[in-house]
Amino acid sequence: MLNAGDRAPDFSLESDSGKAVSLADFPGKTVVLYFYPKDDTPGCTRENQAFSAALQAFDDAGAVVLGVSRDSVERHRKFRDKYDLGVTLLSDPELAAHNAYGAYGEKTMYGKKVTGAIRSTFIIGPDRKVKHAFSGVKVDGHADAVLALVRGGGASEAPAPRTPTKGAAAKSAAPRSSAAKSAARAPAKKAAVKAPAKPVTRSR
For the annotated catalytic residues, the residue numbers are: 44
CB contact at 8 A, 47 and 39 = no
Rounded to whole angstroms, how far apart are CA atoms 106 and 124? 24
Distance, CA of 188 to chain centre = 51
CB contact at 8 A, 73 and 16: yes
Question: Who contacts 65 (Cβ-Cβ below 8 Å, separation ≥6)?
Answer: 31, 32, 34, 51, 55, 58, 87, 88
